[in-house]
Amino acid sequence: MARTFNVLTLLIALAAPTIEVSAQGRTFYGADGKPVTRSTTDTQGTTTLYGSDGRVISRETNTRSGSTVYDGASGRVVGKITRDKR
């Protein structure tokens, strides 16, 4: 259920019609003008996605070899993206 929620929230965020960009992160708004989610990126390159209630939905770390996505509640790895070595 939590994974479905994370994927659904991410899809909503990507489809949000309006994005406010600031130095600290982005806020994604729904069609009704209300914030749907927001993201922040720290100086280490870790991106944190927050729900409209302020809870952490997920975190993503990036390295030269790829990205790792962690569940916001448990901290467990929920996905990995690796880059091709060319």
Instruction: For the chain, give every domain's residue range.
Output: 2-82
Coil, helix or strand at residue 36: strand
Task: Indicate if the pLDDT at residue 75 is higher than 90.
Answer: yes
Locate 70 and state its tokens.
């962690």
Of 14, 37, 15, 39, nearest to 26 by C-alpha is 39
* pLDDT tens per residue, range 22-54: 446 899 898 999 889 999 998 888 999 999 899
Q: What is the mean pLDDT of residues 57-83?
A: 92
- Residue type at 15 in one-letter notation: A
pTM above 0.75, yes or no: no
